Amino acid sequence: MAKSSNSKGVVQRARKIQLLLMDVDGVLTRGQVILLSQADGTALEIKEFDAHDGAGLTVARLMGLRTGIITGRESAALARRAHEMDVEFLYQKRAEKIPAYEEIVRLSGVAEAAIAYVGDDLPDLPVMARVGLAVAVGDAAPEVKRAAHYITSRAGGDRALREVVEVILKSQGKWKEAVKRARA
Amino acid sequence: MAKSSNSKGVVQRARKIQLLLMDVDGVLTRGQVILLSQADGTALEIKEFDAHDGAGLTVARLMGLRTGIITGRESAALARRAHEMDVEFLYQKRAEKIPAYEEIVRLSGVAEAAIAYVGDDLPDLPVMARVGLAVAVGDAAPEVKRAAHYITSRAGGDRALREVVEVILKSQGKWKEAVKRARA
Amino acid sequence: MAKSSNSKGVVQRARKIQLLLMDVDGVLTRGQVILLSQADGTALEIKEFDAHDGAGLTVARLMGLRTGIITGRESAALARRAHEMDVEFLYQKRAEKIPAYEEIVRLSGVAEAAIAYVGDDLPDLPVMARVGLAVAVGDAAPEVKRAAHYITSRAGGDRALREVVEVILKSQGKWKEAVKRARA
Amino acid sequence: MAKSSNSKGVVQRARKIQLLLMDVDGVLTRGQVILLSQADGTALEIKEFDAHDGAGLTVARLMGLRTGIITGRESAALARRAHEMDVEFLYQKRAEKIPAYEEIVRLSGVAEAAIAYVGDDLPDLPVMARVGLAVAVGDAAPEVKRAAHYITSRAGGDRALREVVEVILKSQGKWKEAVKRARA
């Protein structure tokens, strides 16, 4: 299975992508689950995203790539960040990812061969087995790396998504235009 | 004393484990003590856990391994995270760990040879001297590493617990089934 | 184009600088976008600055260098930090940076050849093309590094600004005096 | 000037220490200035300390070493942490450190040759020039390293203080006893 960004297989898969889906913890973040204790005994969730990932996903949308998130956790922090990045599909609190994935496939009308998914751990495996371009972040679990068409050189939360956006837009000949628009 | 995961001694010890106990700061976290100042002069505690550790401990429970925590600090953040990971025994604010440990031994009914404990610093030493499998995280204090049967390759808060779960479940021939269940 | 701090070109450019402008995320921070979930579904922004950057910018002001910030985001955290560092110009929530930049040029009365700007990602490119000394932090996007007169050896949020302050003050023969004042 | 922990000079200096003073940002923390935006436009300070530093300072107190903090910032987070570590002298919001230092010298009655101070940046230099054992953390500014009798192998916020405690207690033949007490 091709694992390098230069490989023909990955470029051919990336060229077809219209919809980019992703997990959150360990993919859009470094995988830290951060909780702030409250005086009443509850706890609030903090999430650390990456600014370069955000700029990449924002410009991807400008260039016509659709985006979506499927995660097992739920937080207002993610809801705000997804809104900032203009993410089209946001499914939180989904311990099992396949039902959410299938709903997105149906609602978007995009063929599975034109969908990419970026994951880092075991619950991501079922979706990765379905999509046209399965991506593992650089520090994914070994089982996830083995299931991927492409492994990013960057770790989750450290520009892995930016790298995926560049791989897709470059394969489609759109990256130079994206850089221009991001400058504007 | 055997220190490698491949060593016979560790596998024999791991095979017997029914109860996995652990410290928190420096074991389930990177050892940062994070405090948020409040306007009234008090401070709230923030804790950063690792998502891969959480997925590992959750699947360990699914596979029948019992789990518990003994820590010197106390926070609502830990209480929530322990609940999310379905931890059976949670003892907070225990400067001395042996009394909490002995209570867990009594309540669980598990023989000490079937208990594992993961620690990183000096207060963990008395419990480590008692259990069947004493584990030090990769960045534990030198005194703790010397007292361990097994030293993880990962640092505390960076998947050390995931590694311990894998060592135990693999020694018991249960890891492949665990991966399947985690996918579901 | 000269990229080393020792190169004549950079020293000549740095010698003229009277106004030091900078982006925030990825420049004064490591590029993490950190959000704290609130019970009402909103989220509050956390920002992590660097103490050495702060000491450098504070001493730069004492030595007569003027300073300013242009960022696409907005937060009370940045407002407080900018105040602590005695920053003269603060423009937040500016998706496009050129209009804010041109307003600063007009208000400050400083020639563009006497302005430095420190950036890390694509939206910084238009301003970098205008100033006398364009600086990229050590972990900037490749497109930004290519557009820079100087690339810091330190990453954003990890003393990159301190390094820029030192390069400027040393080129102007003012660093030794700055160290004395910082001691006082 | 001796810079190694093994050097005779450092051991002789460490042997005399009765009072261990330190800066906070970059010494007890990694140097991050972390601010949480509030809805009313103010910001609350978050501080990240290290659990191994805390255990070291706590055991140092048990062994009779006195401790104190002098910092330019002020936060409830630090006040709570200093209390947890049983720190005797706490001086916050001191842009100039010498007046606070001299007050501690007077109140403690300890000779300056029996005082150690741990710093990381320019404002620490005046105190470092006075004490019997001047320590720079491993990632201190070059000017601070040059002024130190001892440079820790660990960075600030990453067990540098633990290392200093061990150097002092070992030089005084008290470390083995400290390990025993920390276990209890």
pLDDT at D3 over 70: no
Residue B1 maps to a domain: no
| Distance separating alpha carbons of residues B107 and B104, to the nearest angstrom | 5
Q: Is residue B32 within 8 angstroms of chain D, CB to CB?
A: yes
Query: What count of CB pairs under 8 Å joins A to B?
Result: 73
Give the C-alpha separation, B142 to C81, whole Å. 39
Asked whether residue D1 carries a pLDDT value surpassing 50, the answer given is: no
Q: Which of D46, D52, D184 sits opposite B35 (nearest CB)?
A: D46
Amino acid letter at D174?
Answer: K
Query: How confident is residue D184, by pLDDT bands cut at 50, 70 and 90?
Result: low
Strands laid side by side in the A19-22 sheet = A89-91, A66-70, A19-22, A115-119, A133-136, A150-151
Q: Is the pLDDT of residue C23 over 50?
A: yes
Residue of C122, C125, C143 to mutate, testing the A interface (most A Cβ within 10 Å of its Cβ): C122
Chain B residues lying within 8 Å of A126, measured CB to CB: 183-184
pLDDT tens digits for B89-146? 999 999 899 999 999 999 999 999 999 999 999 999 999 999 999 999 999 999 999 9
Q: What is the mean pLDDT of chain A?
A: 95
Hey, is the C-beta of A59 within 8 angstroms of any chain C C-beta? Answer: yes
Nearest CA in chain A to C23: A51
The answer to the question of residue B3 being in a domain is no
Tens of pLDDT, residues D112-170: 999 999 999 999 999 999 999 999 999 999 999 999 999 999 999 999 999 999 999 99
Q: For residue A166, which residues of chain C lie inside 8 Å, CB to CB?
A: none
Mapping DSSP onto H, E and C, the string for chain D reads: CCCCCCCHHHHHHHHCCCEEEECCCCCCCCCEEEEEECCCCCEEEEEEEEHHHHHHHHHHHHCCCEEEEECCCCCHHHHHHHHHCCCCEEECCCCCCHHHHHHHHHHHCCCHHHEEEEECCHHHHHHHCCCCEEEECCCCCHHHHHCCCEECCCCCCCCHHHHHHHHHHHHCCCHHHHHHHHHC
Best CA proximity match to D18, nearest among D123, D92, D116: D116
First vs last C-alpha separation in chain A: 39
Q: What is the distance in angstroms between the Cα of D96 and the nearest Cα belonging to chain C?
A: 6
The DSSP call for residue C124 is G
Q: Where are the alpha helices (DSSP H) in chain B?
A: 8-15, 51-62, 76-84, 98-108, 125-128, 142-146, 160-171, 175-183
Within a domain: A3: no
Q: Which residues of A touch B59 (CB under 8 A)?
A: 122
What is the C-alpha separation between D24 and D35, in angstroms, rounded?
A: 16
CA B71 – CA B17 distance, rounded (Å): 21
Residue C87: band (very low, low, confident or very high) from pLDDT cuts 50, 70, 90: very high
Taking only the tens place, the pLDDT of each residue in A13-24 is 999 999 999 999
The β-bridge relationship of strands B133-136 and B66-70 is unpaired
pLDDT in the model for residue A184: 59
Pull the structure tokens for residue C20.
Answer: 């030091």
The predicted structure's pLDDT at residue C6: 52
The model's pLDDT over C98-149, given as tens digits with 9 standing for 90+, comes to 999 999 999 999 999 999 999 999 999 999 999 999 999 999 999 999 999 9
Give residue D118's domain range: 8-183
Q: Which two tokens stand for residue B31?
A: 């050892």
C43/A contact by beta carbon, under 8 A: yes
pLDDT at B11 over 90: yes
C-alpha to C-alpha distance for C75 and C57, rounded to whole angstroms: 20
Virtual torsion, Cα C113, C116, C119, C125, nearest 10 deg? -10
With beta carbons less than 8 A apart as the criterion, state whether A164 and A116 touch.
yes
In this structure, the dihedral spanned by the alpha carbons of residues C24, D30, D34 and D127, taken in order and rounded to 10 degrees, is -100
CB contacts < 8 A, B to D, total 73
Contact C161/D at CB under 8 A: no
D182–B37 C-beta distance less than 8 A: no
Of D38, D96, D122, the CB nearest to C76: D38
Nearest CB among A37, A40, A121 relative to B55 is that of: A121
pLDDT at B91: 98
Rounded to two decimals, the pTM is: 0.95
* Residue C8: pLDDT band with limits 50, 70, 90: confident
Q: What is the phi/psi pair of residue B139, to 5°? A: -115, 30
Question: Do the domain assignments include residue C124?
Answer: yes
- Across the range D70-79, mean pLDDT stands at 97
- Counting residues of chain A whose pLDDT is more than 70, the rounded percentage is 96
In angstroms, rounded to a whole number, what is the distance separating the alpha carbons of residues D152 and D161?
8
CA distance C138 to chain A (A): 14
Q: Do B179 and A32 touch (CB under 8 A)?
A: no
Indicate whether B8 pLDDT > 80.
Answer: no
Q: Alpha carbon of A154 to those of A26, A53, A59, B73: distances in Å? A: 12, 11, 19, 35
Look at residue A2 in the predicted model and tell me its pLDDT. 42
Question: Which of C116, C105, C121, C117 is CA-nearest to residue C25?
Answer: C121
> CB of C37 within 8 Å of any CB in chain A?
yes
* Chain A residue with minimum CA distance to C142: A179
Q: Given the structure tokens 């940045």, which residue do they identify? A: C78
Q: Does B32 contact D47 at a Cβ distance shorter than 8 Å?
A: no
- Nearest chain B residue to A95 by CA distance is B184
ipTM value of the model?
A: 0.95
Do C38 and A48 lie within an 8 Å CB cutoff?
A: no
Is residue D174 in some structural domain? yes
Q: Does some domain include residue B80?
A: yes
Residues of chain D with Cβ-Cβ distance to C182 below 8 Å are 121-123
Which chains, if any, share at least 3 CB pairs under 8 A with chain B?
A, D
How many domains would you assign to chain B? 1
Residue D2 lies in a domain: no
Closest alpha carbon to B127 in B107, B105, B106, B142: B105
Answer with the residue of higher pLDDT: D120 or D8. Answer: D120
CATH number assigned to the domain comprising residue C134: 3.40.50.1000
CA distances in angstroms from C46 to C180, D32, D78, D155, listed in the order given: 33, 12, 18, 24
Q: What is the pLDDT of residue A8?
A: 76
The C-alpha of C90 sits at a distance from chain D's nearest C-alpha, in angstroms, of 15
User: Two tokens at D87?
Assistant: 């720190």
Q: What is the pLDDT of residue B2?
A: 42
Any CB–CB contact under 8 A between C36 and chain D? yes
| DSSP, residue by residue, A47-91 | EEEEHHHHHHHHHHHHTT-EEEEE-SS--HHHHHHHHHTT-SEEE
Using the Cβ of D143 and the Cβ atoms of chain C, whether some distance falls under 8 Å is answered with yes
Residues of chain D with Cβ-Cβ distance to C76 below 8 Å are: 35, 37-38, 40-43
* Alpha-helical segments (H) within chain A: 8-15, 51-62, 76-84, 98-108, 125-128, 142-146, 160-171, 175-183
Contacts of C51 in chain D (CB under 8 A): 25-26, 31-33, 121
Cβ neighbours around A101 below 10 Å, total: 23
Separation in Å, CA of A122 to nearest CA in chain C: 25
- Say yes or no for a CB contact (<8 Å) between C49 and D37: no
Mean pLDDT value across residues A137-163? 98
pLDDT-derived band at A6 (thresholds 50, 70, 90) equals low
pLDDT tens readout for residues D10-51: 999 999 999 999 999 999 999 999 999 999 999 999 999 999
Query: Contact at 8 Å (CB) between C69 and C90?
Result: yes
Query: Model confidence at C2, in pLDDT bands (50, 70, 90)?
Result: very low
In a domain, C1, yes or no: no
Ramachandran quadrant class, B75 (left: phi over 0; alpha: psi -120 to 50; beta: rest): beta
Q: Tokens in use for C136? A: 């990229």
